[in-house]
Amino acid sequence: MRIIADENMPFAAEAFSNLGEVNLAPGRLMNAELLRTVDCLAVRSVTRVDSSLLSGSAVKFVGTATIGTDHVDTEYLGREGIKFASAPGCNAISVAEYVIAALFELAGRKGFTLAGKVLGIVGVGNVGSRLESRARALGLEVVLNDPPLADQTGDSKYRPLDELLERSDIVTVHVPLEKAGKYPTYHLVNQSLLASLGPGAVLLNTSRGAVADSFALLAAIGSGKLGAVVLDVWEGEPEIPLDLLRKVDLATPHIAGYSFDGKARGTRMIYEAACRHFGVEPVWTPEGLLPAPENPLIELTGRMDDAQDLLAKAVLESYDIAADDRNLRGIFDLPKDARAKHFDRLRRSYPVRREFASRTVRLGPGLKSLAPVLAGLDFTVETA
């Protein structure tokens, strides 16, 4: 059996080697000729999987090590009898931790207190549900909106979008990109939605670039109504709108879900799906293979009066989101024809980022009451 996998998928060669011959290739350069005699294809979101890629190939299984599947023509795969698997939830913790880091970074820059703020979560699937628990641990009030889940469950905890927008100090979007159907999300963040936000509201989008209308967002920022904007995803990636990049408070190159833990989970999920499809017993696991974080132990000392600053230290020493922002803004120093490559290069060569669970926070005297908060963020906690 021949397998082609994205060269930036962690452990792809090790995982798939018990299924056959593994070759690695750049995701954006995969083409029909490369896949002509391939049986199994493992991709990331940068590869468009459709008839132009697979027509005439021998591919019997396609796996994407991502939550989103809008880069895959699943209807085509179904018609052709090609088995498809994705990795729902693989990087959900990573995205939730990204949002938490972004909020602490913004709070430090702008001088606001997180506890007591109202966080509106639009989309309460794998990411949104994990973010909810972490936000509540931090003392934020949470308002949830998810029309599909509201219809499925009838649960009144899912509130109408207009209510969420009216009540929320912070709105974060975690929906799939859907252009049709009962719940379209294409340009969900549009002029109307932005006008419904309260003055000084903070907006974050880590879902898909086209969930937000770039022109409407740029106009809203220019009006001075928004308190802050955080974007990890962009319309037209990897050619992103520089006028919007200049205006947002935190900007990153579609890496919210790029924790090494999440990437390894994604590889494992599609590897195991391929094994099931081809009738092979899965034997590979990433356990024990993940590198240790640079700072596995974080020590906090001080007073409870400084609780937010102490929590920020634990979070931002675990993930320095400001560094990702600085790196993306290096795009302004480049000629036009090098900018898209810079965006892709930042993603392709992204440094190892471990999730909070890989770290221990040691609390000094008088800080024991921070333990449940830190545990709610997934840290291991030691108290004096």
Handedness of CA 55, 58, 64, 65 (dihedral sign): negative
CA 277 to CA 303: how far, in whole Å? 56
> Among candidates 173, 165, 171, 227, which has minimal Cα distance to 197?
165
Q: Which of 97, 237, 272, 355 is catalytic?
A: 237
Q: Which of 254, 268, 339, 353 is catalytic?
A: 254
Question: Residue 178 is encoded by which pair of tokens?
Answer: 């859907």
Give catalytic status of residue 208 as yes or no.
yes
Question: Residue 32 is encoded by which pair of tokens?
Answer: 């029909």
CA 356 to CA 316: how far, in whole Å? 10
CA 268 to CA 246: how far, in whole Å? 38
264 burial (CB, 10 Å; 0-12 / 13-18 / 19+) is buried
Give catalytic status of residue 342 as yes or no.
no
78 burial (CB, 10 Å; 0-12 / 13-18 / 19+) is exposed
CA 19 to CA 343: how far, in whole Å? 33
Give catalytic status of residue 237 as yes or no.
yes
CA 193 to CA 129: how far, in whole Å? 22
CA 235 to CA 241: how far, in whole Å? 7
CA 201 to CA 184: how far, in whole Å? 24
Integer angstrom CA distances of residue 321 from 126, 232, 268, 328: 22, 11, 26, 11
Count the neighbouring beta carbons within 10 Å of the beta carbon of residue 332.
11
Catalytic residues: 208, 237, 254
